[in-house]
Every structure is written in C-alpha cells, then in structure tokens.
Copies of this chain bind each other. A is one copy, B any other.
Amino acid sequence: MAEPPKEQLDRLIEAIEAEDRPAIRDVLADLHPADVGRLLESLTPEQRDLAWAEIETESKGEVLVEVAEGVQSDLLEDMDKSEMVAAVRGLDTDDIADLIPILPDDVLADVLFTVDKVARAGLGEVLSYPEDTAGGLMDVDTLMVRGNVPIRAVIRYLRLLGRLPEHTDKLFVVDRKSRLRGILTLANLLTAPPENRVKDHFDNEPKVFKAMDPEDDVAERFQKYNLISGPVVDEDYKLIGRITIDDVVDVIRETADRSVMVRAGLSEEEDIFAPVRRTTRSRSVWLGVNLITAIIASIVIGQFESTIERLVALAVLMPIVASMGGNAGMQTLTVVIRGLGTGIISSSNARKVLKKEFLVGSLNGIVWAIAVAVVAVVWYQDLALGMVIAVAIFVNLVCAALAGVALPIVVQKFGIDPALAGGVTLTTVTDVIGFFSVLGLAALFLV
C-alpha cells in the first residue's frame, strides 16, 4: 500500500509485458480507484487494455470517474453494454451524471432503469442543470432537519440512520416546503445542550448556491469562505442538493489545468498516449491558426524586400525586436488575464492598469532600446542602424504593453477565453509592429 507510484508503475508494466495476469491483478488489488486511474493514464492504449481486463467490473465505475475524458473513451471501447451498466449503476448520482456525455444512449437507459427510485429522481434533478453549474455539480444526498426539533432528537435520528453521506459537515434546516432556513454544523450539533432546539443553534445566514451559479463562481466562494459543503437551492429557495469540497477541488484543478493547456491550443482532457493520428489531428488546428498569423508577419517583411537587400543586417536584427516585444507583451498579458480571472481587474480600474503598464513598457522600452542598440552598434559599427533599432524596440515594447492590457479585455467582451486567444493575437501584434517599425524606419532613414 505504501509503495511509491513509480515502483507500482514499473511493476505493472513488467507484469503486462510478461502477460502475467495474476501479477497484474496483484499490483492493482487494494489500490484506491484514483491510484488505479493514474496508473492506467500512464500506460499506452495496448498496455491499458490488458490491465483493464484484470479489473473487476464492480470497481471499473469508480476508476472511470477518476481518469481524463480521452482515457475514459479508450477504456469504454473495451466494454460491452452489460458490463458498462454493471460498472456504472453503483456510483453516486453526481458521478453518473459526469459519465453521461460519454455513455451510449442505450446504456444510459439501462442504468436509469436499474438504479433505485430515489437515485433516479436525484439523477433527473442533477441532469436538468448544465454540467458547469452548481446544479450540475451537486449531490442530492442532503440531510434535512426542521428548526423546532430538539438537538437530542436529531442525534437519535442520525444514530438510527447509522451512516452519514460522505463529507457531511452540516445538516440543512428547512421549513415545511423544503425551503432552506439555515444550516446546523455537526460541531454545533455535538457541542449544543441536547435539550435545546435546532433553531437555537443554527446559522440562518449561510453561504447559499443557486442552481444556475457557474461552477467557477462556486469554486471561488468555496475558497474564499473556506467551505466544506454548501446548500444548493432552486428559484423558490427550495433545497435541492449540496456541493462538497472534493468536487470543488476537482473544478479548481481542471480550471487551472485548462488555463495552461489552452494557451498552447490543447485540450485538458488529452490522453498522453492517444493514437498518433488522433493527436496529430487535434493539434493541427492550432498550427493552422499559427501559420496564418506567421504569414501575416511575413507579408509585412515582404513589403520591404528591397530595403533588406540593401542592408541585410536588418534581417539579422529584426527577429530580436519582434521577440523582445513578444516577451514583454506576454508578461503584461499574463498579469492581466490572471487579474481578470480573479476579478481584481474590472472596468472600474482597467484604465489604471493600462496607465501603469504603459509606464512599465516605456521604462523597459528605454532600458532595452539602449541595450539592443549597443549590441547592434558593436556588431555592425553603424550608429544610424543602432538608432533605428533602438526606436523600433521602444515602439514595440510600448505597443506590446498596450496590447497586453487591451487584447484580453476586448477578447473577453466577445465571450472568448483570453487564455486561448490572447497569446496568438498578441504575438501577431508584436511581430507585425516589430518588423514594420524596424524595416519602415530603415526604409525612411537608412537606405
């Protein structure tokens, strides 16, 4: 159990390569589903199939919810319909809901048919909200109590129940119509005098989530207010479920992951060992977009062919100008995208950010204009060339700062994720302005 993951993986790969089925079962037995999922993600599709065959059907559902979507579909390919139903039907409603997009329709129908009535009703409720909202994220196993019940009776009720839903840190206090009135924490329940009533000890101003709240807002508030679980209500303030921190942590991880992957035009659900052709296809779109932006920059250079012919040093130095602009701009862009994401930057202070970054860009522009000009003059012994490069660097760094602030704000207004589109548009701007300012100034003053 305490064996490090690396050794487990080595042992598993060895067993798979020897096609030693008992040894494969031996490695996977007793592991937490999350650990099994991690191991499967570390295997190639062929190795994965062999390992998957040695996992018991009843455990497969719990492993499925732990792996990336790309890997899920690969694993499902090896299962027949009845096996899928058997694997999935024992899961929590919110986990079933997560798997629904990748399950075949007839399997889904069978799962809904086999789960019990309460679970089916709950599943229906969860499914009626988009996946990325509080409603799509919630569990329906809420424990409700009424305000006028004595603490003692609540404790007796829980003892009769025998088992609390996972991550229960509080009970929900509701009125006759199931409308949320407040929360009673287990800590309160344990420390309150047993003869008192729930309403003497409950919190009647809890943090509440509306079913249609976006999951990012939910995550933000969980983090801000250090919540373990929170109630979800519908438009009538009726309690319909609860969100628990473990699902919120997954949202936080996925959002963070997505923001890194999306910057390189990748999906966060990518399977590292997906077939070569599928990966090539999925990455091509991004390379196509990049080709178009690169051609735009090249067209700018193409306007100045005769200038370059007469002073070939320009071809040597112009990539430095473009590159410095691109890097300075990416710094501003990264800061602004994060500020927009955390809500620290909004329309109230966007102008202040623009002003500050303009000043930083100007100051950095002066510093690096001098530095690059020195390089150019030492290299080519040409003071005028140095001057042109210096001015071009300054212009490009100032424009990079302005674009780094403006682009993500504009792009977001159009409903596009600035992390996805910001980088490409920014480097297009800094390449075009970098090449144009070097070559344009050279055409005017040097040749």
* Pairwise interchain contact B245-A338, C-beta atoms closer than 8 A: no
A84, chain B: closest CB distance, angstroms: 24
Chain B residue numbers with a CB within 8 Å of A263 are 260, 263, 334
**A78 interface residue (CB < 8 Å to B):** no
A264 within 8 Å of B by Cβ?
yes
Q: Are B38 and A342 in contact (CB-based, < 8 A)?
A: yes
Given contacts A294-B324, A331-B286, A338-B261, whether A249 and B276 have CB atoms under 8 Å apart is no
Which listed residue (B43, B225, B266, B360) contacts A331, Cβ 8 A? B266
Query: In the assembled complex, how far is the CB of residue A380 from the closest CB belonging to chain B, in whole angstroms?
Result: 10
Smallest Cβ-Cβ distance to A311: which chain B residue:
B309
Alpha-carbon separation in the docked complex, A270 to B331 (Å): 11
Min Cβ gap A369→B in Å is 11
Q: CA–CA, A228 to B261, complex, Å?
A: 28
* A117 located at the interface, meaning its Cβ lies under 8 Å from any Cβ of chain B in the complex: no
Report A271-296 residues with CB < 8 Å from chain B CB.
272-273, 276-277, 279-280, 283-284, 286-287, 290-291, 293-295
Output the nearest chain B residue to A33 by Cβ-Cβ distance: B224
Find the B residue at minimum CB distance from A226.
B246
Which B residues touch A364, using CB under 8 A?
280, 283-284, 287
Contact status A276-B334, CB under 8 Å: no
Query: Which B residues are in CB contact (< 8 Å) with A308?
Result: 308, 312, 315
Q: Is A421 an interface residue (CB 8 A)?
A: no
Interface of A: prevailing SS: helix
Select one of B223, B322, B363, B371 contacting A280, CB under 8 A: B363
Q: A413 interface residue, CB < 8 Å from B?
A: no
Q: Does A415 interact with chain B (Cβ within 8 Å)?
A: no
Chain B residues lying within 8 Å of A224, measured Cβ to Cβ, are 32, 34-35, 38
Against B, the Cβ 8 Å flags (1 = close, 0 = not) of A311-338 are 0110111011011100110110111001
A 139-160 to B, binary, CB cutoff 8 A, 1 in contact else 0: 0000000000000000100110
A189, A228, A305, A323 pick with most chain B CB within 10 angstroms? A323
Tell me which residues across on chain B come within 8 A of A283, comparing CB atoms.
Answer: 328, 331, 360, 364
Interface check A21, CB cutoff 8 A = no
- Is the pair B316, A38 in contact by a Cβ cutoff of 8 Å? no
**Is A384 an interface position by the 8 A CB rule?**
no
Q: Is A200 an interface residue (CB 8 A)?
A: no
Complex CA distance for A306 and B315, rounded to whole angstroms? 11
Within 8 A of B (CB), among A338-355: 338-339, 342-349, 352-353
- Name the residue among A13, A192, A245, A272 with the largest chain B CB count within 10 angstroms: A272
Q: Nearest-CB distance from A251 to chain B (Å)?
A: 11
Report the contact-size class of chain A (Cβ under 8 Å from the partner): 35 or more
Asked if A257 CB lies within 8 Å of chain B CBs, one says yes
Bound: A44/B371 CA distance, A: 31
CB of A425 within 8 Å of the partner chain: no
Q: Interface-forming stretch among A3-11, A99-107, A127-135, A176-184?
A: A3-11
Are A276 and B363 interface neighbours, CB within 8 A?
yes
* Neighbouring B residues of A253 by C-beta, 8 Å: 223, 252, 256
User: Which listed residue, B249, B261, B338, touches A334 by the CB 8 Å rule?
Assistant: B261
In whole Å, how far is A66's beta carbon from the nearest beta carbon of chain B?
Answer: 8
A94 located at the interface, meaning its Cβ lies under 8 Å from any Cβ of chain B in the complex: no
Assuming A43-B349, A159-B191, what are 19 further A-B pairs, CB within 8 angstroms? Answer: A1-B205, A9-B346, A13-B348, A38-B342, A42-B344, A161-B191, A169-B169, A169-B186, A190-B190, A223-B249, A252-B252, A252-B253, A252-B256, A273-B352, A276-B360, A279-B360, A298-B317, A298-B319, A301-B316
Interface residues of A (CB under 8 A from B): 1, 5-6, 9-10, 13, 32, 34-35, 38, 41-44, 155, 158-159, 161-164, 166-169, 186-187, 189-193, 205, 222-226, 228, 245-246, 248-250, 252-253, 256-257, 259-261, 263-266, 270, 272-273, 276-277, 279-280, 283-284, 286-287, 290-291, 293-295, 297-298, 301-302, 305-306, 308-309, 312-313, 315-317, 319-320, 322-324, 327-328, 330-331, 333-335, 338-339, 342-349, 352-353, 356, 359-360, 363-364, 367-368, 371-372, 375, 379, 431, 435
